[in-house]
Amino acid sequence: EPEVTQTPSHQVTQMGQEVILRCVPISNHLYFYWYRQILGQKVEFLVSFYNNEISEKSEIFDDQFSVERPDGSNFTLKIRSTKLEDSAMYFCASTAGDLKQYFGPGTRLTVT
């Protein structure tokens, strides 16, 4: 079965540094998402992306965050200047437009 992949599996960075989290969605999918889960808390929606633009974003997704689909296969989440509170597991998901979202295994981001 096709799957969503994410790299790296674990990223450690210092506060104030930029990070880019990478995702390869399923190839024929049209809608892409980023979610995050701070340890012990709920999985939270960050942003959705369709037709090369943001469809919806949450209050968490401020100016420090950006998303891009640079080459038709990758989908990236950039955090420009990381804060300690950005430490979380970040999940990428994609869907063909039905109710089934396929999730990647996640990237654990640790900001020190």
Work out which of 4, 79, 109, 111 binds another protein, going by CB under 8 A. Answer: 4
- What span, in angstroms and rounded, lies between the C-alpha atoms of 81 and 99? 34
Quote the distance between the C-alpha of residue 86 and its chain's center: 12
* Residues β-bridged to residue 59: none
Q: What 3-state DSSP class applies to 98?
A: coil
Nearest distance from residue 47's CB to another protein, in Å? 9
Is 26 one of the binding residues for another protein (CB under 8 A)?
no
Taking CB under 8 A as the binding criterion, the range among 10-18, 67-75, 79-87, 88-96 that sits at the site for another protein is 88-96
Nearest distance from residue 98's CB to another protein, in Å? 7
Nearer to another protein, 17 or 55 (CB): 55
- Is the CB of residue 44 less than 8 Å from the CB of residue 89? no
Nearer to another protein, 76 or 89 (CB): 89
Q: Say how many residues make up the chain.
A: 112
- What span, in angstroms and rounded, lies between the C-alpha atoms of 17 and 3? 30
Greatest CA separation for the chain: 39
Nearest distance from residue 14's CB to another protein, in Å? 26
Applying CB under 8 A, which residues contact another protein?
3-4, 6, 30-31, 33, 35, 41-45, 48, 50, 55-56, 58, 91, 93, 95, 97-106
